[in-house]
Amino acid sequence: MKKIIPVFILGMFFVACCSKTEVQSDPLQDNSQFVTLTDAVPDAILEIRYFGTYNFVGSRIDGYQQPTALLTRVAADSLRAVSNDLMALGYRLKIYDAYRPQCAVDHFVRWAANLADTAMKPYFYPDLDKSVLFEQEYIMEKSGHTRGSTVDLTLFDMRTEKEVDMGGTFDWFGPESHPDFCGDPLTGEYNADNSSSPAGRSITAEQFANRMILRNAMMRHGFKPLDSEWWHFTLATEPFPDTYFTFPVKQL
């Protein structure tokens, strides 16, 4: 006698298969064109701020499951060329952030909307009222990092075995983070009078020059800078200019 499989079981099996296929084919979850950054740039040092609590939110950020960094393959290849150049000058790259999933950006948005939470204000935005973070675009609903070819980084001096002094911390909300703060990034000329700091801050000629070392190396290998953050660079020929990925940050 043939076994008769109830119709509702067949239906459940079909739905399950379709659901599984749908999840697997979600392009926003597809990390096949990404690599673990340190596989491509083995000399890079990682300090993934959003995996820990020393960041402007003050807690681990959603989507950062491991303290690692991911980039698209093409961006990682270009960053390796940057690293090779800077290694010859006695520097290593120190990475603060790379690919950032959309849920992490959503976490930033929720935090910014909670005006009562100012625990990290003294460290990252002492000159600003938290209510202006959306208006001044320090927090936005979309980030270039989520497209996978943007990296936040600085330099590490192999001679002194210390992070290079850039005259300001990563994720500082203010004009002090602008590449043209106290100088002209197009000419590389330092100008202490070119300061728009609301608190009268400035950086030294050496600190400005250090920023330019990083900037010039990144631009030589196809990365474009951001006019509000000296540490932020995006591959000009990024492969996913309109895709905001959702897979978590963890070792690939």
In one-letter notation, the amino acid at residue 32 is S
Give the pair of three-digit tokens for residue 159: 């001679």
CATH, residue 163: 3.30.1380.10
Domain with 76 in it:
30-235
Specify if 247 maps to a domain: no
Specify if 228 maps to a domain: yes
CA dist 95 and 238 (Å) reads: 19
Q: What is the pLDDT of residues 135-186, one digit of tens each?
A: 999 999 999 999 999 999 999 999 999 999 999 999 999 999 999 999 999 9
Specify if 202 maps to a domain: yes
Specify if 243 maps to a domain: no
Specify if 69 maps to a domain: yes
Q: Which residues are catalytic?
A: 229
Inform me whether the pLDDT recorded for 8 exceeds 70: no
CA dist 147 and 141 (Å) reads: 13
Inform me whether the pLDDT recorded for 37 exceeds 80: yes
pTM across the whole model:
0.89
Q: What is the pLDDT of residues 87-115, one digit of tens each?
A: 999 999 999 999 999 999 999 999 999 99
Specify if 8 maps to a domain: no
Specify if 102 maps to a domain: yes
Count of domains forming the chain: 1
Specify if 2 maps to a domain: no
CA dist 36 and 217 (Å) reads: 21
